């Protein structure tokens, strides 16, 4: 029996030696101070009177940041502007990496870490696979294009490191490949003018004749831009002008007939 007891004791000793002390402390500490295991310290929940099974995911003050994010950022989950500087918590750059808290959540980076992927580059200085800065990336894009025979609807959105693109069209030249090329062009030319953007669309989608175009762009760190444009071919303009002149001449002749009748 003594031998068996010795073996068991030795086994336990080896297990304790192989187990990192930090993991034991962290586990016991987490279970002790985070009883609901949501990543938020119980005392913080009690301080701000937060309750509920999904309180970590909830946005109590409706500022765009979850309670868990506010906990990590050391903000007040019951005030939209924790430091009262007239800037909402979502639009603050708490970790000072060049990106606001809201933008970081949309991009999938951590607003409480200056270098989310630990590659030695601040999140605000990172570039996507195409080499474009995050602040120049498109958040949303909507394009409505109509010609005499075709109609196209393009919707694009980038959220949490994933892009969503929907193309609805009866025009064979407006396909996903060309739309992706357009997005690349827009992100690589953040200071382009409306004329330059229209010229790119005309070239990329081989537009000819008359067309109507509506564009709505929203960048992550730029103001939203909207543009509407209607292009009419010169022949059609001449026809319209000629029709107007004919209508005017008809009106004049009617007036002359009325004058003769009065005489």
Q: What angle separates helix 176-188 from helix 194-204, to the nearest 10 degrees?
A: 150
For the chain, the domain total comes to 2
**138 and 216 fall within a common domain:** yes
Ramachandran class of 130: left when φ > 0, alpha when ψ lies in -120 to 50, beta otherwise: alpha
pLDDT for the residue 7: 44
Which of 125, 159, 192 corresponds to the end of one domain?
Answer: 125
pLDDT for the residue 221: 74
Taking the whole predicted model, whether its pTM rises above 0.85 is answered as no
Shortest CA distance to 55 belongs to which of 204, 47, 150? 47
Q: Is residue 32 part of a domain?
A: no
pLDDT for the residue 251: 55
Q: Is residue 103 part of a domain?
A: yes
**227 and 156 fall within a common domain:** yes
Q: Please tell me the distance from the alpha carbon of residue 185 to that of residue 188, in angstroms, as a whole number.
A: 5
Q: The domain containing residue 99 runs over which residues?
A: 42-125
The answer to whether residues 89 and 70 touch, using CB atoms and an 8 Å cutoff, is yes
| Rounded average pLDDT per 10-residue block, the chain, 263 residues | 44 43 43 86 95 92 95 96 95 93 89 94 84 83 94 91 91 92 89 87 88 91 79 61 54 52 50
pLDDT for the residue 85: 95
How many C-beta atoms lie closer than 10 Å to residue 240's C-beta?
11
Q: Is residue 17 part of a domain?
A: no
Ramachandran class of 76: left when φ > 0, alpha when ψ lies in -120 to 50, beta otherwise: beta
């Amino acid at each position: 029996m003594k031998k068996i007891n010795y073996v068991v004791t030795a086994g336990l000793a080896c297990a304790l030696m192989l187990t990192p002390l930090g993991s034991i402390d962290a586990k016991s500490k987490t279970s002790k101070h985070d009883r609901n295991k949501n990543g938020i310290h119980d005392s913080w929940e009690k301080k701000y009177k937060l309750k509920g099974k999904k309180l970590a995911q909830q946005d109590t003050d409706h500022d765009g940041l979850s309670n868990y994010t506010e906990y990590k950022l050391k903000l007040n989950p019951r005030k939209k502007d924790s430091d009262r500087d007239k800037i909402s918590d979502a639009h603050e750059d708490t970790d000072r990496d060049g990106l606001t808290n809201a933008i970081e959540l949309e991009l999938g980076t951590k607003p409480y870490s200056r270098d989310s992927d630990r590659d030695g580059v601040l999140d605000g200085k990172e570039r996507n696979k195409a080499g474009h800065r995050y602040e120049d990336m498109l958040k949303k894009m909507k394009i409505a294009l109509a010609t005499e025979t075709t109609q196209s609807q393009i919707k694009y959105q980038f959220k949490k490191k994933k892009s969503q693109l929907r193309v609805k069209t009866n025009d064979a030249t407006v396909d996903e490949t060309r739309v992706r090329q357009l997005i690349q062009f827009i992100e690589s030319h953040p200071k382009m003018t409306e004329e330059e953007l229209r010229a790119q669309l005309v070239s990329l989608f081989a537009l000819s004749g008359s067309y109507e175009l509506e564009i709505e762009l929203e960048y992550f760190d730029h103001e939203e831009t909207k543009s509407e444009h209607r292009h009419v071919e010169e022949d059609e303009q001449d026809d319209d002008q000629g029709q107007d002149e004919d209508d005017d001449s008809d009106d004049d002749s009617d007036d002359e007939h009325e004058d003769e009748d009065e005489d």
